[in-house]
């Protein structure tokens, strides 16, 4: 290994801050006017408020809301919703709280008036890992004939291995579970290791661990004067499968579901 290559490898792994974002998508059968409030357990960061509209059956996506993943902060989402089609049952608040990790899963179920909620955590360009705190410079990587793999290490293109990436990865070596992909990875010691790149919903060295989904909770503001059997049925039946879930799994036994009626 020549020293220039070694220097380039070091450069490729230089660390700075972590860098990640939240991306939220929503779907509903109604015309909704909503505000999402993204706040964290850190008092140094003020909450982000984003107003948005939803039209029936159209996916509304809020892109790249910056968040901090590396300090283990708990994030809270609260979505305040005015239902413009059902004014008797407007003012619902949907909340979810979680510690963000890259690729975090959406809730398995959602509440009226939503039928789909997607909560994704992504890393900014050149940042990798569960906490988006592994830096890998793709330009430097390509100068040494490699690329940054899913773990933020230098690796070979998919299916290849070896210092010159000239050999094929044999299926029989691969110990990745749950459809994880076997990838080559050159750490700082420049020794090649086979590692697993896990699909959404799984983590662990061999993708053997299930990543938990987020749970959401809902509170409805209902005008008691207009509260009818139909409304009650609609609200009590309001927990439905999330149309936008990435991985389907059996529902957890404790669906958090609150019905609050304003006593105006």
Ligand X SMILES: *[C@@H]1O[C@H](CO)[C@@H](O)[C@H](O)[C@H]1NC(C)=O
Contacting residues toward ligand X, per CB under 6 A: 29, 37, 39, 47, 49, 56-57, 76, 78, 90-91, 221, 223, 262
Which residue lies nearer to ligand X by CB, 174 or 256? 256
Q: Please, what is the minimum distance in Å from the beta carbon of residue 86 to ligand X?
A: 10
Q: Please, what is the minimum distance in Å from the beta carbon of residue 22 to ligand X?
A: 14
Q: What is the 3-state secondary structure (H, E, C) of the chain?
A: CCHHHHHHHHHHCCCCCCCEEEEEEEEECCCEEEEEEEEECCCCCCCEEEEEEECCCCCEEEEEEEECCCCCCCEEEEEEEEECCCHHHCCEEEEEEECCCCCCECCCEEECCEEEEEEEEEECCCEECCCCCEECCHHHHHHCCCEECCCCCEECCCCEECCCCCEECCHHHCCCCCCCEEEEEECCCCCEEEEEECCCCEECCCCCEECCECCEEEEECCCHHHCCHHHHHHHHCCEEECCCCCCCCCCCCCCCCCCCCCCC
Which residue lies nearer to ligand X by CB, 88 or 210? 88
Which residue lies nearer to ligand X by CB, 37 or 178? 37
Which residue lies nearer to ligand X by CB, 160 or 260? 260
Which residue lies nearer to ligand X by CB, 16 or 264? 264
Q: What is the 3-state secondary structure (H, E, C) of 223-249?
A: CHHHCCHHHHHHHHCCEEECCCCCCCC
Q: Please, what is the minimum distance in Å from the beta carbon of residue 143 to ligand X?
A: 45
Q: Please, what is the minimum distance in Å from the beta carbon of residue 200 to ligand X?
A: 24
Which residue lies nearer to ligand X by CB, 12 or 54? 54
Q: Please, what is the minimum distance in Å from the beta carbon of residue 79 to ligand X?
A: 11
SS3 141: helix
Q: Please, what is the minimum distance in Å from the beta carbon of residue 221 to ligand X?
A: 4
Which residue lies nearer to ligand X by CB, 91 or 126? 91
Q: Please, what is the minimum distance in Å from the beta carbon of residue 120 to ligand X?
A: 21
């Amino acid at each position: 290994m020549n020293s220039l290559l070694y220097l380039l490898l070091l450069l490729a792994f230089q660390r700075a801050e972590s860098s990640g974002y939240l991306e939220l998508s929503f779907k509903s059968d109604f015309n909704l006017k909503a505000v999402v409030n993204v706040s964290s357990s850190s008092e140094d960061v003020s909450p982000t408020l984003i107003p948005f509209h939803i039209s029936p059956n159209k996916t509304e996506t809020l892109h790249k809301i910056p968040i901090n993943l590396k300090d283990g902060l708990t994030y809270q989402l609260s979505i305040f919703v005015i239902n413009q089609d059902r004014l008797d049952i407007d003012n619902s608040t949907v909340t979810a709280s979680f510690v963000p990790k890259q690729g975090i899963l959406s809730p398995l179920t959602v509440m009226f008036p939503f039928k789909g909620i997607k909560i994704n955590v992504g890393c900014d360009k050149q940042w990798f890992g569960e906490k988006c705190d592994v830096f890998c410079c793709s330009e430097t990587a390509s100068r040494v004939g490699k690329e940054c793999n899913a773990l933020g290490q230098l690796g070979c293109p998919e299916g290849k291995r070896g210092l010159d990436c000239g050999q094929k990865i044999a299926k029989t070596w691969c110990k990745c579970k749950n459809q994880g992909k076997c990838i080559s990875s050159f750490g700082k010691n420049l020794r090649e290791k086979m590692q697993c790149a896990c699909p959404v919903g799984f983590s662990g060295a061999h993708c053997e661990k299930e990543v938990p989904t987020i749970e959401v909770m809902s509170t409805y503001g209902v005008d008691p004067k207009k509260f009818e059997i139909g409304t009650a049925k609609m609200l009590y039946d309001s927990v439905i499968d999330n149309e936008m879930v990435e991985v389907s799994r059996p529902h957890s036994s404790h669906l958090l579901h609150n019905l609050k009626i304003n006593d105006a």
